[in-house]
Chains A and B, each alone.
Chain A
């Protein structure tokens, strides 16, 4: 039962352009969403998050959008830089989950020079 899905295993974007990573979820009880970035041989690092009471959160080049009715969130990176090449995971937390996070499968982003 995959409650959080990232349907694109990989994405390739030209340097300087916008990268858009998508994530869908099925559990309407999720109330907080996070994006993590992972480089090879390292653990995931926190990137940006959004509460279900908001529909947008911005931090520098990174913006997360949440569409609760569609149970969909997206991460926008603009402009994309070579250092953004990594695997991106979205994660969701349920209200009664005692801070338990459910992760998607990840999307490998490659930024081409």
Chain B
């Protein structure tokens, strides 16, 4: 079974530029999560989708971050404009049904200069 796929793996941009990350969850997983992991901290939930609907985006900085999950499969997370403090690893995870376990992708490491 293929795992959660993310791209790109690494991205370096200058502040005020925009960037987008892509995630393809495990086939059949209806729930998709985006996390931000700053160095030395644990992952922090940004947004949760159930199929193509948003369940929780309470910690998403909506003035600069946006996310969508068209057709309830792939998802994109965008930052526009980026700030220095957005430097982090962005993790995508998915979950099937009522199982507790979330399966994580390898992450995208973003560096904002």
Contacts and interface: CB of A to CB of B under 8 A. Distances in A.
Contact of B101 (A6, A34, A41, A106): A34
A26 interface: no
Contacts of B95: 99
Contacts of A104: 42
Given A44-B43, A45-B104, A102-B45, 7 more contacts: A43-B91, A44-B104, A89-B42, A100-B56, A103-B44, A106-B40, A106-B41
Interface string B49-72: 000000110000000000000000
A105 B100 contact: no
Interface of A: 4, 6, 9, 32, 34, 36, 41-46, 49, 89, 91, 93, 98-106
Interface of B: 4, 31, 40-45, 48, 55-56, 91, 93, 95, 100-107
B4 to A, nearest CB: 7
Nearest to A33: B100
A79 B105 CA distance: 28
A92 to B, nearest CB: 11
9 contacts: A9-B40, A34-B100, A34-B101, A43-B106, A98-B56, A100-B56, A101-B45, A105-B40, A106-B42
Given A42-B106, A43-B91, A99-B95, A49 B43 contact: no
A7 B100 CA distance: 25
B40 A43 contact: no
Nearest to A41: B106
Contacts of A9: 40
Contacts of B107: 42-43
A93 B100 contact: yes
A98 B32 CA distance: 12
A83 to B, nearest CB: 18
Contact of A103 (B4, B42, B106): B42
Nearest to B3: A43
A93 B91 CA distance: 18
